[in-house]
Amino acid sequence: MSSGVESQQVLARAREVVSSCTGFRDTAISPTAVDRVVRAELARGRSAMELLAELQRPGAPLARALLDAVLVGETYFFRHPEQFRFLANEAVPAALGRGNLTLRGWSAGCASGEEAYSIAACLQNMVPPGVRVEVLGTDLHEGRLELARRGVYGNWSRREAGPLLHPLYLEVAEGRVSILDSVRAVVRFAQGNLLEPLAEVHGSFDVIFCRNVLTYFSPDAVQVALGHLARALVPGGFLLLGTVEVDHPPAGLVRVGAPELQAFRRPLPRELTPPPTPKPVIREPEPFRASLRVTAPPPPPAPTAVGLHTEALQRIESGDETGAASLLEKLLQQFRDYLPGMLELALLRERAGAREAAFALMHTVRDNAARLPPDLIIEGPEPLPARFYRASADAFLTLGAIE
């Protein structure tokens, strides 16, 4: 029989194990949940010493039972709908503007999967034909991931607070819905702990939702998790957090939109490079002249391909795609082999519905890029190797042809 003191030791150790595995601060760990698990083990005749010994092994069944008991899995479709509107209206156009042919989302701390499927439905509904969508959902709780993979939900997953913003499921029985096959097909689930970096095989993401997870974490654990999340974003990608989870932008990210939106963006490399500081011009003292000649001002510097391209990008960002396209046309008359501009214009043509023109340009991008050494860095708003242009054009032409 275990003494009261020993039981208290087990409870205290159990809380430590939960906190180190999850990142939870002590006050966020439900005492009744921990108590229930420990008492059930003691009631089965196990001694406090046995339990303490088992708690030395964080992957052991007792630790798993504790995690399952304390992890809160509350979630529903299109939770915080304003963040899904932001995804549709800001994040998707931004990713397409970067020329993405695949949009990748991550629901970090996805619980039973409603958030991951909502992200996938939103992306699928917003991207033009030919652009692929991939969504990853990760969570620490294996049991919830099983529910997520099943993709069948009851009324509790459909709440008034989360309006059905994009097609997502079919009614299969009274009060039961099943996720549409087209949405399921682009979502994968994997176990993952936010205290560790995401496995490299999962790649990087245009958008990450990590909501109502960090709210349970200790301040140190929040910083660790935010570091992993920020590093998994592509430049220009967005991180969306829960309503009160941080009060200032995570390191390396900038806030976008109103504070209550809790949306953060990873800047593009060109936004991080400070403009070159002009070198001070040291003039020789002018010899005395009886009469001063009036000289014409120096001609403005000739525009560069990268400069014009950057101007076109600014126009795209301000919504003036037509202006951007005509600027890119002028650019290409002057710099005929400038691959980044060709790719940009092809994507603009595709978005404007001028498919043939887009294809013709993409063929030129592919053929020109194929003639260059794959690792040759092409100067553009973002310096990228020739193989990037070849792969992008190939993907565009192949997907477009299948479609």
Ligand X SMILES: C[S@@+](CC[C@H](N)C(=O)[O-])C[C@H]1O[C@@H](n2cnc3c(N)ncnc32)[C@H](O)[C@@H]1O
How many C-alpha atoms does 214 have within 13 Å on its Cβ side? 27
Q: How far is the CB of 210 from ligand X (least distance, A)?
A: 7
Which of 83, 392 has the CB closer to ligand X? 83
Calculate the CA 240 to chain-centre distance. 8
Distance CA 126, CA 91 (A): 10
Which of 41, 245 has the CB closer to ligand X? 245
Per the CB < 8 A criterion, the answer to whether 144 and 73 are in contact is: yes
At 268, list the tokens.
């593009």
Q: How far is the CB of 214 from ligand X (least distance, A)?
A: 9
Distance CA 307, CA 369 (A): 21
Which of 16, 317 has the CB closer to ligand X? 16
Which of 111, 183 has the CB closer to ligand X? 111
Q: Which of 340, 344, 348, 342 is nearest to 379 (CA)?
A: 340
Distance CA 239, CA 198 (A): 15
Q: How far is the CB of 212 from ligand X (least distance, A)?
A: 4
Distance CA 233, CA 201 (A): 14
Distance CA 312, CA 38 (A): 63
Q: Which of 402, 380, 401 is nearest to 99 (CA)?
A: 380
Element (H, E) at 153: strand 152-153
Which of 84, 338 has the CB closer to ligand X? 84
Q: How far is the CB of 183 from ligand X (least distance, A)?
A: 17
Q: How far is the CB of 25 from ligand X (least distance, A)?
A: 12
Q: How far is the CB of 67 from ligand X (least distance, A)?
A: 8
Q: How far is the CB of 195 from ligand X (least distance, A)?
A: 5
Which of 75, 368 has the CB closer to ligand X? 75
CA distances from residue 237 to 55, 90, 207, 261 in whole angstroms, order as listed: 40, 11, 6, 15
Q: How far is the CB of 322 from ligand X (least distance, A)?
A: 39
Which of 224, 399 has the CB closer to ligand X? 224
Number of residues written out for the chain: 403
Q: How far is the CB of 181 from ligand X (least distance, A)?
A: 23
Footprint on this chain of ligand X (rule: CB under 6 A): 22-23, 71-75, 79, 109-111, 115, 139-141, 144, 193-195, 211-213
Which residues neighbour 396 within 8 Å (Cβ) at sequence distance 6 or greater?
A: 101, 130, 346, 350, 358, 362
Residue with tokens 């949009």: 103
Which of 123, 345 has the CB closer to ligand X? 123
Residue with tokens 């913003």: 165
Which of 100, 107 has the CB closer to ligand X? 107
**Dihedral sign of CA atoms 43, 46, 50, 54 in order:** negative
